[in-house]
Chain A
Amino acid sequence: MTEDSRHIVIAGAGHAGGSAAAMLRQLGWRGAITLVGEEPIPPYQRPPLSKAWLKGEATAESLALRPAKFYPDSTIDLRLGIRVTGIDRGAKTVTLSDGGTLAYDYLILALGARARRLPLPGVDLDGVLELRSAADADRLKAALHPGARLAVIGGGYIGLEAAASARALGADAIIIERESRVLARVACPILSDFFQRFHRAQGVTIEVDAQVTALEGAGGHITGVRLGDGRLISCDAALIGVGAVANDELAREAGLTCQNGIVVDLAARTDDPAIFAIGDCTSRPLPLYERMGRLESVPNALEQAKQAASLICGKPSPTPEVPWFWSDQYDLRLQIAGMPFDATEIVVRGDVEAGKFALFHLTADGTVQAVEAVNASTEFMGGRRIIARRKHLSRARIEDMSISMQELAA
């Protein structure tokens, strides 16, 4: 591995950064790779944090992206507990939080996103939690014991998954949502209604149209969430899950174009040819939908890691993928293919009451933009294919269960 003197620095050792390092070796990069991560542990998977990890069904080993020995074995210099603090594009160097400097030939920014903070009184009380990292998940896990009361501020995926895990652990969960329904920003009303009913049947309390005005405590620890209507929701811990903000400050300070994330092209290039950006911190082209967007998902992190590694290693660029997402709550598997931009019509295939259905989002001309599938993996997989092919489908054909997904996707 010594015949190439070039050096790649990867800033951020999450799912995107860790995968980029591995992918570079898969594609034959023979130069040095330094992977710099702020957290004290090697790259790991975040999705299980709100599910299997909370419930004690995952181990540190099963969470790890790759075994610890993978990094030395692959000559990847993994530097943990350190942050990149500055980029000098002219000199092609980065400064590190430990005072060090690294020269790079290519720099890959995999800086991730952080939980959005709410400017609320009491937000610094003990027991006010967020969920992005393994350390966050451990704090939440410690608060979830039988009989404990968890207030979840924000009815998004993180909040719903944490509420489901809380119930599995015998804790009470109260979801407090500002909008009139949970998943308001990320799913359609039919899906919101389905998840609300399912969670309520599992004993979760859901407050919608509820404004949080303060977090109240005693002795420095949270005891309740004060709502706009004056009510106090008492709790032992509160999880704030109200979205994430791209960590793009480093790129901004270096003069790279940022707009709700670091702006990149389909090869994950920023406007500096030596600097790539991948994962949650990017705003990227969504070629199927002819616009830019920021995707917070593992598939996106891997796709962009592959895009950057392919270009750097001189390999053909990978075929653009249909964005997709998944969430597990109780025994429900939600899989979403595509994004419902410009959709004007929602068609239900399957039986919502039976908890096995898919929602097809169509534009006015019948193009399938997105498919939200609950316990309906065939519809999800078929949906990915239909969306990739920009197929048009009629309401009647989608609703007709005597027509197979194979036939619909053909």
Chain B
Amino acid sequence: MPRITYIEHDGTEHAIEVPIGKSVMQGAVDNNVPGIDADCGGECACATCHVYIDAAWLERVGLPQPGSQEASMLSFAAVTQPDSRLSCQIPVTEALDGLVVRMPEGQH
């Protein structure tokens, strides 16, 4: 099972095995990782599952399509950066084994 490391803004790390087919958000919620609330349950409607993708993984994960729902939501999410993604929009695949994501400040 792909292993994903979620790093809270204060540096606390959570390494979690997430089944293929779930989203990166779901992996965090199922394991009660603080900082990913996912108010809307993965509908890309709330931006409370915002993460920064580790630089080494950015190419594999990719950025939201310009003009997409995700890009619109991120345009005003708290402390958006060029490596920002909504984790509900990232499906877990074998290729993401080892992925590292960080949570922004103030998301919790």
Binding site for B on A (CB under 8 A): 22, 25-27, 45, 47-48, 65-67, 70, 74, 298-299, 302, 319, 324, 326, 328, 333, 335, 377-378, 381-382, 384-385, 405-406, 409
Contacts and interface: CB of A to CB of B under 8 A. Distances in A.
A381 B41 contact: no
A26 B32 contact: yes
A326 B32 contact: no
A79 B41 CA distance: 24
B76 A378 contact: yes
Nearest to A406: B75
B77 A335 contact: no
Contacts of B30: 66-67, 70
B45 interface: yes
Contacts of B77: 381
23 contacts: A25-B32, A26-B34, A26-B108, A47-B40, A47-B43, A65-B29, A66-B30, A66-B32, A70-B32, A298-B39, A302-B37, A302-B39, A319-B106, A324-B46, A326-B46, A333-B69, A378-B75, A381-B47, A381-B75, A381-B76, A382-B76, A384-B76, A409-B76
A319 B40 CA distance: 19
B13 to A, nearest CB: 15
Interface SS majority for chain B: loop
B72 interface: yes
At the interface, is chain A mostly helix, strand, loop or mixed? helix
Contacts, number: 59
Given A378-B76, A382-B76, A299 B32 contact: no
Interface residues of B, number: 21
Contacts of A406: 75-76
Nearest to B35: A26
B16 interface: no
Given A66-B30, A67-B30, A381-B77, A299 B46 contact: yes
B75 A298 contact: no
Contacts of B63: none
B20 interface: no
Given A381-B76, A381-B77, A405-B75, A298 B32 contact: no
B39 to A, nearest CB: 5
A378 B43 contact: no
